[in-house]
Each structure stands twice: as structure tokens, then as C-alpha cells.
Amino acid sequence: MERSEVVKLLQNHDITPTRQRIEIAAFLFQREQHLSAEKILAEVNLSSHRVSRATVYNTMGLFTSKGLVREVLIDRDRVFYDSNNTQHHHIYNVDTGELSDIENDRVSVAGLPELSDNVQIVGTEVIIKVSNL
């Protein structure tokens, strides 16, 4: 993704395109991927663009709140940021730490709870955890 495309993407999501945000977004959106904040920090800093840990965490929180990325919570210690913003599910391998996409039509959810009249379901996200044999 060209720098001008990254700037436009951020602006389209009402995000001010600072140098650090552009660097983080350029790395994150080079392809569909699942990344932890620590991985983003390490990779962005490898390319000699210095960003702080706090900047990465704050930027990923902003990108999530603006709908630019999806936050995938595996457990309280593992959070991934998903650059694929379409509706889909995930498989998480607890042995390798790998998170993979599952297309929405490959999973069906039955037995959803009855809800009160003043709420509606806006989405369902399934994370299937697997272990190697």
C-alpha cells in the first residue's frame, strides 16, 4: 500500500494521519494478518521507524474504535489485531499461537439466547481453539 493510500485510509476513518500512525498502518495493511501489539512494535521498529510501546497500544485502540481493525481476544493475555475487517470467525492453535480465518458461511451458530425487546444481535464471533496431536 502506497503512503498516499495509507493516509487516505486513515482519513476515511476520521483518524489524523500522524507519522507514527502511518507507519503502523502501512505495516498492518500490507496484507490480511493477525498481529499482537508487541509484534507490530517489533516489526515497525525494525524498519528504523521508531515508535513507542504506548504509541502502538494507543494507535491500535484508536484503529479498533474507528472500525479500521478488529480486536480478537483469545484470553486476557492474548489479543490480536485483525486487518481483515469482513465478518468471519477464527481458529486459534494453542500450541503454535497461530490465528487463522474461517469464512462466515463455514460456521453456523444455533441456540442463541432469547433477548429482551429493546436489544438485538449485531454479530456473532466464534473462536475455535485447537491443539496439535
The model's pLDDT over 14-73, given as tens digits with 9 standing for 90+, comes to 999 999 999 999 999 999 999 999 999 999 999 767 899 999 999 999 999 999 999 999
How many domains does the chain contain in total? 2
**Rounded Cα distance, 78 and 53, in Å:** 16
Q: Give pLDDT, residue 121.
A: 87
pTM confidence score: 0.87
Q: 67 and 45 in one domain?
A: yes
Q: 100 and 42 in one domain?
A: no
Q: 73 and 48 in one domain?
A: yes
Q: 103 and 76 in one domain?
A: no
Residue 106 in 3-state DSSP?
Answer: helix
Do residues 13 and 68 lie in contact, with contact meaning Cβ atoms separated by under 8 Å? yes
Instruction: Give the range of the structural domain holding residue 18, as residue numbers without chain letter.
Output: 3-82
Q: 112 and 98 in one domain?
A: yes
Answer yes or no: is pLDDT of 123 > 80.
Answer: yes
Q: 98 and 41 in one domain?
A: no
- CATH of residue 43: 1.10.10.10
